[in-house]
Amino acid sequence: MEDQSFPGGHGMRIGIVVANWNREVTDALLEGAVNTLVEQGVAEEDIAVQRVPGSYELPQGAAMMIHSTTLDAVICLGCVIQGETRHFEFIAQAVAHGCMNLGLETLTPVIFGVLTTDTFEQARDRAGGKHGNKGVEAAAAAIQMAAFQHLTDLGGDEPGDLQ
């Protein structure tokens, strides 16, 4: 990590919900996320992975995880590709709003790790290709938000101290 003050993930328990649609891409996002969590100190046994059919089901899958087990954050991983249909807009917007609302309602950080691209190639480029891996970014965001929440739970430092 570039930021030396980045909080570690030791002792954190992180859920990951992954969509099966465009699985080649979502598997690469999952790999990037899990590797990053482990590199940052999250124990492998504290990473819970669940699969859902498509990105549309990600918020509901995340809600099920939050309500059935104790988690410090949930990462939603998916890949929505603009096709011939208007499914793209409906799915992408529903997932984005669903993740945001779930995080606000439960105060468990819900991380939006969903690629929304015009082509499959663009998605591949962002799942371990020339434009990095959004799964890595999502894992970093999960740790940062979980640490933020721990600080606020303790009523201690200002959130700004995490920057």
Shortest spacing between CB 69 and ligand DLZ, in angstroms: 23
Considering 87, 97, 131, 150, which one is annotated as catalytic?
87
The residues binding ligand DLZ (CB under 6 A) are: 19, 21-22, 53-57, 78-81, 83, 85, 87, 91
| 87 is a catalytic site residue | yes
What are 127's two structure tokens?
A: 């799942």
**What is the distance between the alpha carbons of residues 116 and 79, in angstroms, rounded to a whole number?**
6
**What is the distance between the alpha carbons of residues 15 and 77, in angstroms, rounded to a whole number?**
11
Shortest spacing between CB 26 and ligand DLZ, in angstroms: 8
Nearer CB in complex with ligand DLZ: 85/163: 85
* Nearest residue (beta carbon) to ligand DLZ: 54
Nearer CB in complex with ligand DLZ: 41/54: 54
CB 71 within 8 A of CB 48: yes
What is the amino acid identity at position 115? L
Shortest spacing between CB 49 and ligand DLZ, in angstroms: 16
**What is the distance between the alpha carbons of residues 37 and 30, in angstroms, rounded to a whole number?**
11
**What is the distance between the alpha carbons of residues 58 and 51, in angstroms, rounded to a whole number?**
9
Query: Active-site residues: which are they?
Result: 87
